[in-house]
Amino acid sequence: MDELLDVYQAAWNEQPEGTILYGSGDTRDSLAGLADRMLKAFLASDFARPQGIILGVEEELRGPVIPGCPDLLGRVDLIVEAEDALIVSDYKTSRTTWSFDKIEQSSPQLLLYGELVQAFSPLKPVRLQFAVLPKTKLPTVQVHEVECDPAAVARTKAVVQRVWNAIKAGPNFYPNPSPMNCPTCPFRGPCQRWSG
């Protein structure tokens, strides 16, 4: 733990004062406290000691997943071969705990990772999971399983295929206004000028 915090502090200390813009209420010291709490929570969790054979950490995988599309490139956080399954874990930090909607919105990433890892252990089923570490006062690692539902996999592949076909077809612009994104969007001008 001390070594992890030393590395964290060294990275902060390399940054000249004034080059980091802090969020409301954040300071170098408050973020150091948060890092301390989050690292302790992670080290206390089962994820710090995976059960099984670790096949990959931050493993970059590339392969054909969708016919007619370029190879898919993914960076998988953790791949473990357990007795009963191949477990693919994606680590996330978050300001809050994840809702069911957030898990559902994020699941296509894991579904595609599941397709990429099939060759690692073709005789075992694949289990997909998010390990979420919220940046809360008392953080704990929360595990969210994502079902390898064939219909959801097919839908995700169809979405990717459709996006790739649109890219190949040439420049397309569809406004997608959002109160959250518009103020900082670099395409705000073209979006407002788009007449249909």
Domain extents for the chain? 1-44, 51-169
Q: What is the mean pLDDT of residues 142-149?
A: 94
**Confidence category of residue 181, pLDDT binned at 50, 70, 90:** confident
Structure tokens belonging to residue 1? 């733990």
**Confidence category of residue 13, pLDDT binned at 50, 70, 90:** confident
Q: What is the mean pLDDT of residues 47-69?
A: 93
Closest CA to 111 of 138, 72, 80, 166: 72
77-102, pLDDT tens digit by residue? 999 999 999 999 999 999 899 999 99
**Confidence category of residue 133, pLDDT binned at 50, 70, 90:** very high
pTM for the model stands at: 0.79
Q: What is the mean pLDDT of residues 133-152?
A: 93
Using an 8 Å Cβ cutoff, are 58 and 75 in contact? Answer: yes
CA distances from 173 to 110, 165, 195 (A): 28, 14, 11
**Confidence category of residue 173, pLDDT binned at 50, 70, 90:** low
51-169: CATH topology? Lambda Exonuclease; Chain A (3.90.320)
**pLDDT value at 196 more than 70:** no
